[in-house]
């Protein structure tokens, strides 16, 4: 069963807007960005027009979590271990 996360992402963005929180135009580094939670953060940032740099060594993160973001001009993935 496939779940469409887009509605959940949109709800998060609307909540942020309601709280006057915007990341538009900002550059943000997300460590562990290919993980379950990190990929959600990346989704929100990209949809809010932030430049999102996703850093992950893919030890537990999955490329499938961010593959849909790879062609976005405001998203960059870096495969790197910072430990």
**Per-residue pLDDT tens for 20-31?**
888 999 999 999
**Dist. CA 43–CA 13, nearest whole Å:** 10
Question: For the whole model, what pTM was predicted?
Answer: 0.86
Q: Strand, coil or helix: what is 15?
A: helix
Q: Which residue has the higher pLDDT, 24 or 7?
A: 24
Domain ranges within the chain, ordered by starting residue: 25-79
């Amino acid at each position: 069963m496939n779940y469409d996360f887009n509605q959940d992402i949109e709800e998060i963005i609307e909540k942020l807007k309601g709280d006057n929180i915007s990341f538009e135009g900002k550059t943000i580094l997300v460590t562990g960005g290919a993980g379950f939670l990190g990929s959600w953060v990346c989704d929100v940032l990209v949809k809010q027009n932030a430049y999102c740099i996703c850093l992950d060594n893919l030890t537990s993160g999955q490329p499938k979590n961010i593959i849909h973001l790879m062609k976005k001009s405001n998203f960059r993935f870096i495969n790197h271990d910072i430990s």
